[in-house]
Amino acid sequence: MRCSSSSPRTRESRCRATSALPSACQRTTAVTWMAASHGPRLMLRHWRKSAVWLLLGALTLPATARPPIQPSRGIDLLLQATPAGIEIAAYRSRHNPPRGVASPPMAVAPGLHLEVVSTAGSVIEWVALGDPHLLLFDDLSGARPRLGIEEVAERWLRIPLAIPAGATPELRIRDQRGEIWDSVALSDLSDLTPSGDGGARRGGAAVEPVLINGDSAQRLDLLFIGDGYREAEWPLFRDHVATCVTALLGAEPFATYPTAINIWQLPLRSAESGADHPCDGIQRQTRLDATYDWPACRTRMMSYNYLKAWLIATAALPEWDNLIVLVNDPERAGAMPPFAPGPVYGAYDDLRYLTIHEWVGHDLAGLMDEYDATEDVGPIGLPYAPNCSASRLFPPWQHWIRAGEPGMGTFRNCAFNNLYRPTADACIMRESDVYAFDPFCRERAVKGLFKVVRPILGAEPDPGEPLLLGPGETVEIWVETLEAVDHKPVFTWWLDGENAGEGYLPWFELDAASLDPGIHTLAVKVHDPTAMVLKDRHHLLDDERSWEVRRF
């Protein structure tokens, strides 16, 4: 749970502060869930919509079995938790999932198993999700598995699962005891993916481009959705979006990678202005049911109907990667509710702060608030957000401390708890008048971007086609990469496994005279050497392409 302002002094903060759920909390908790990138476990006692909606994540399904480089297909699943169990509520195809990035830990015992099952019933491929941001359902049904909090993973999972070309297998979800939660035929998935203008109309409004830098397949597509704006107030919504966009482009990672993002806006037609304030007895009819006083009165946090937002966004802009719900209400509040498809905030306060803190910080970078403890609580056993650590000696940002980065250390209090944070006061996750991240949190934001936008945007000729090279011929191979304002990517070319050149030039000239007749392999590895990233265990800043060269 993330908030935008001061930490709430509530019973919830006491409950969520210890690693074992106190029984008093369990008794009053309708649903207990826990978000990996969302920090502390959250007790929701007043979730008005009764059902809990969550995003399981995106499954990356290569279009063919094991091609050299092929566009891949992805699926986002939206699961609904009900007292009877879990159902797949909706899903959408994604055309731009990164390949093999941010996979959850394989072979982790607790959690879910996703299986791709052939029409003959055999398991073609499977992956285990030990991911904590799925859900805890213990209060809904004792039969549901509990998922550990050990692994801090991203909210959007991208799991490469190979399926044979032309097959129509099904996706099966099992709990840790092997029982099937649900299954869906993969061939059905495209049926629910609206596209084109018809899709936009189905969403009840037309999506408007705000800032388009390129093909959505190679960019992060951010969609602003307005809630509580009557049609006469749509110009106001557009003004609010423009303020947010200015804020985004002035903050990392977009200050360095301004062309990495496409921005869209969707002004939904609400019957009334504003949002619900249930603790004041105010109810307003709006499209996404945005509400203040969430998850309790006077928290300065808010929420909305995830499913409606998810479906409307998908209908209007199937290629959206992230969304932000702007609420036409002057009261200051904001939050990134666990499992929500994006943050929500009131559009009249400091939009610069809210956009950077709520979306870039909580959503894109997966950071937690660095606020002080508000209760006398002990440390939890394990860290649950990268920027809040129980370990003073080995925090996740220790590589920055070892590198001698000024200001980096371990400072008491983070995530409403007596955890450690990376800097005293250099991060917007703690200080509302700091419109930037400390080096570690900035590194997380950059890596969050590179999970969606890859260093290589395109290549010519198409790596999927064999390169034919006759006697006396030469061919130039070009690679288009993501632009940075202050540095260039490094290209390393490999010919038949031998280093054939390295530097900043995005092309390679292949001369038939240098090759014996036969089949050869040309590959390029691209590395983005940004100084904002010191540690890149998943090689998010590396990318590669390869070509089969037929010399005849």
Binding site for Zn ion (CB under 5 A): 2-3, 369
Nearer to Zn ion, 154 or 369 (CB): 369
Nearer to Zn ion, 311 or 414 (CB): 414
| Nearest-approach distance from CB 34 to Zn ion, in angstroms | 17
Q: Any idea which residue has 């800043």 for tokens? A: 541
Nearest-angstrom CA–CA distance, 540 and 449: 9
| Nearest-approach distance from CB 322 to Zn ion, in angstroms | 16
| Nearest-approach distance from CB 19 to Zn ion, in angstroms | 21
Residue 176 identity: Q
Nearer to Zn ion, 257 or 345 (CB): 345
Nearer to Zn ion, 38 or 287 (CB): 38
Nearer to Zn ion, 150 or 372 (CB): 372
Those residues whose C-beta lies under 8 Å from the C-beta of residue 223, and which sit 6 or more positions away, are 207, 263, 264, 265, 266, 313, 316, 317, 320, 322, 323, 324
Nearer to Zn ion, 3 or 526 (CB): 3
- The residue number with the shortest CB distance to Zn ion is 2
Query: Which element (helix H / strand E) includes 261?
Result: strand 261-267
| Nearest-approach distance from CB 2 to Zn ion, in angstroms | 4
Instruction: Assess contact for 56 and 131: CB atoms under 8 A.
Output: no
Query: Given strand 180-185, what is the order of strands in its sheet?
Result: 123-129, 112-117, 170-174, 180-185
Nearest to 91 by CA among 170, 177, 153, 24: 170
| Nearest-approach distance from CB 446 to Zn ion, in angstroms | 19
Nearer to Zn ion, 218 or 322 (CB): 322
In three-state form (DSSP H/G/I as H, E/B as E, the rest C), the secondary structure along 207-219 is: CEEEECCCCHHHC
| Nearest-approach distance from CB 161 to Zn ion, in angstroms | 34
Degrees to nearest 5, angle at CA 491 with 322 and 452:
10
Query: Which element (helix H / strand E) includes 197?
Result: helix 196-202
| Nearest-approach distance from CB 518 to Zn ion, in angstroms | 59
Nearest-angstrom CA–CA distance, 1 and 299: 11
Nearest-angstrom CA–CA distance, 207 and 139: 39
